[in-house]
Amino acid sequence: MRLVFLLSGEHPELPKAEALAALQAEGATGRVLEEFDQVLVVETDVADPVLLASRLGMSHEVWTHLCTARVEELLEAVGSTDVVDLLPHGKTFAVRVRRVKRSSPQVSREELSKEVADLIRREVGFRVDLERPEREVGIVLTGEVGVVGIK
């Protein structure tokens, strides 16, 4: 499985080292696939990502990775993922967009969130619930790319 680690920005190297050490402590392998400012995408065989996330102090969240794409190609990239298989059928969802520092200032977080939610809703018929979603699709804008995952 591929995991996205949203790293704290308090140190340039420690959050990444902590994430990789936590994988090792769980007896799992971890290979860095992509590394961006405050975002790490890792291929791993970890058994319990929730337990892994609970052990991390320098990662804000850990998601299941869907895709990474240049900002202008995000909608197309999300449309070609296996989001249908990762979101439980009949559950509600919301799309949340966050920005690392001042990445991609030309992108409206609200508009991107709405466009991705509409795409998923049209493709698979899931219901959007912004108040209490049962699952969340997260997008983090870092540099000129967006990293998308399921929380």
3-state SS class at 42? strand
pLDDT, residue 126, reads: 82
pLDDT on residue 82: 80
CATH of the domain at 24: 3.30.2130.30
Helix and strand numbers (H, E) in the chain are: 5, 8
Per-residue pLDDT, averaged over 10-31, amounts to 94
Instruction: Tell whether the model's pLDDT for residue 84 goes beyond 80.
Output: no
Percent of the chain with pLDDT over 90: 78
Q: Which domain holds residue 41?
A: 2-150
Q: What is the 3-state secondary structure (H, E, C) of 97-147?
A: EEECCCCCCCCCHHHHHHHHHHHHHHHHCCEECCCCCCEEEEEEEECCEEE
The structure's pTM equals: 0.92
Dihedral angle sign, alpha carbons of residues 88, 86, 70, 138: positive
26-30, 49-53, 80-84, 91-95 — which is least confidently predicted?
80-84
Task: Tell me the mean pLDDT in the region 84-106.
Answer: 88
Q: Which residue has the higher pLDDT, 151 or 139?
A: 139
- pLDDT tens-digit series, residues 107-146: 999 999 999 999 888 877 788 999 999 999 999 999 999 9
Q: What phi and psi values does residue 41 have, to the nearest 5 degrees?
A: -110, 125
Mean pLDDT for all residues in the chain: 92
Whether 6 shows a pLDDT value over 80: the answer reads yes
90: left (phi over 0), alpha (psi -120 to 50) or beta: left
**What's the structural domain count of the chain?**
1
